[in-house]
C-alpha cells in the first residue's frame, strides 16, 4: 500500500469522486449525460461511450487533487487509458488516489437486505489492481428494511471480503448502503453502527478500513466510527439525493467527507461546450468540497 497515498487519505482535505457505474447502471448514467440507448448497439460501444464521459471528467481542469482526494473506478476503467496513461497513473499524476469497484452486483433481497453476489473474480481483480497502481477497493451491499439478522449478515460479509483485500495490500472501502427511502432508516442506522463497531474489533493489529455510508438521519451518528483508530476515513454516498440536499445533509456530519456519483455529474451533458462542461463540473466540485471540509 502506497504510504504517501495512505497519509493523504487520512489527513487530506477534499472528497472522493465515484465514477464506478457498472454494466447495470451505465445506461442510466449515459441517459443522464444525454446519450440515449439507441446511440449504441452492444456493450462494447456502451462502455466506450461511458469511458469517453469519464475521460472528459478526469481531464477537466476542474478535476484536480486540490479538492478531490480520490476517485472510484469501474474495473474496465482501471484497464483503460487516459491521455496515454493507465487511468490510475493518470489520476495519481493529479494527486488523486485511485480506487476500484470490486463487487459483482447484488443478490436477491433476503431478510430485508441484498448481500453481494459471490466475488469469484476477486483474486484476479486484486492482482490486476496492484499491477495497475490502485490504492484501494469499494464494494456495495444494500439495506432496505429493519432486520437485525439481515444487517448483521451484510456487515459480516463485508468484513470477510475486506480481510482478503487487506491481505492483498489494498485498502477496502466497506459500503453497506441504507436505502434513503427505508421506512425505519434511523433505526436501521443504529443497528448498522453497532454491527460495524463489532466488525472493527475483528480486525487484526494494525489493520484499518474505510466506510462509505448513507448520510445518517441523525446527525453525527457515525462520529464513533470517524474517530475509531481502525478507520482511515468515513465517506458518504449521495444515495439519490440531489446535490444541494446531499451537501446540506453532509455538512451536518462532522468528519465525514463526500463520495458522490449522481450528485457530482447530474448537471453534465454531452452537448455542452468544454467551457460549459468545465464550469458545471467545477461548480459541483466546489459545492461538494465545501460540504466535505465544514
- Of 268, 252, 277, whose CA–CA distance to 29 is shortest? 268
Q: Is the separation of the CB atoms in 238 and 247 below 8 Å?
A: no
CB atoms within 10 A of CB 189: 23
CA-to-CA separations, 144 to 101, 115, 262, in angstroms, rounded: 21, 11, 20
φ, ψ for residue 293 (rounded to 5)?
-105, 10
Q: Which residues share a beta bridge with 16?
A: 70
Selecting among 138, 185, 193, 212, the annotated active-site residue is: 212
CA pair distance 209, 231, nearest whole angstrom: 5
Q: Is the separation of the CB atoms in 27 and 257 below 8 Å?
A: no
CA pair distance 256, 269, nearest whole angstrom: 29
175 is catalytic: yes
CA pair distance 146, 144, nearest whole angstrom: 7
Selecting among 67, 101, 175, 189, the annotated active-site residue is: 175
212 is catalytic: yes
Catalytic residue numbers?
175, 212
Amino acid at each position: 500500500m502506497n504510504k504517501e497515498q495512505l497519509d493523504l487519505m487520512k489527513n487530506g482535505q477534499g472528497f472522493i469522486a465515484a465514477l464506478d457505474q457498472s454494466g447495470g447502471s451505465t445506461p442510466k448514467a449515459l441517459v443522464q449525460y444525454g446519450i440515449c440507448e439507441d446511440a449504441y448497439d452492444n456493450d462494447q460501444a456502451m462502455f466506450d461511450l461511458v469511458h469517453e464521459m469519464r475521460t472528459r471528467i478526469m481531464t477537466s481542469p476542474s478535476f484536480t487533487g486540490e479538492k478531490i482526494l480520490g476517485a472510484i473506478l469501474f474495473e474496465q476503467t482501471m484497464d483503460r487509458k487516459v491521455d496515454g496513461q493507465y487511468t490510475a497513473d493518470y489520476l495519481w499524476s493529479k494527486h488523486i488516489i485511485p480506487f476500484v469497484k470490486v463487487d459483482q452486483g447484488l443478490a436477491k433481497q433476503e431478510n430485508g437486505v441484498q448481500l453481494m453476489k459471490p466475488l469469484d473474480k476477486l483474486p484476479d481483480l486484486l492482482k490486476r489492481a496492484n499491477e495497475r497502481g490502485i490504492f484501494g477497493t469499494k464494494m456495495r451491499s444494500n439495506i432496505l428494511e429493519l432486520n437485525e439478522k439481515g444487517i448483521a449478515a451484510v456487515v459480516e460479509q463485508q468484513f470477510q471480503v475486506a480481510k482478503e483485500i487487506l491481505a492483498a495490500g489494498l485498502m477496502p472501502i466497506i459500503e453497506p448502503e441504507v436505502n434513503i427511502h427505508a421506512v425505519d432508516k434511523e433505526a436501521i442506522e443504529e443497528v448498522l453502527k453497532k454491527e460495524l463497531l463489532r466488525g472493527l474489533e475483528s480486525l487484526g493489529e494494525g489493520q484499518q478500513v474505510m466506510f462509505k455510508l448513507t448520510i445518517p438521519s441523525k446527525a453525527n451518528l457515525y462520529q464513533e466510527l470517524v474517530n475509531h483508530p481502525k478507520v482511515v476515513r468515513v465517506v458518504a454516498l449521495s444515495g439519490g439525493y440531489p446535490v444541494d440536499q446531499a451537501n446540506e445533509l453532509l455538512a451536518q456530519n462532522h468528519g465525514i467527507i463526500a463520495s458522490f456519483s449522481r450528485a457530482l455529474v447530474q448537471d453534465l451533458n454531452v452537448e455542452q461546450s468544454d467551457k460549459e462542461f468545465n464550469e458545471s463540473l467545477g461548480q459541483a466540485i466546489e459545492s461538494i468540497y465545501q460540504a466535505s471540509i465544514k
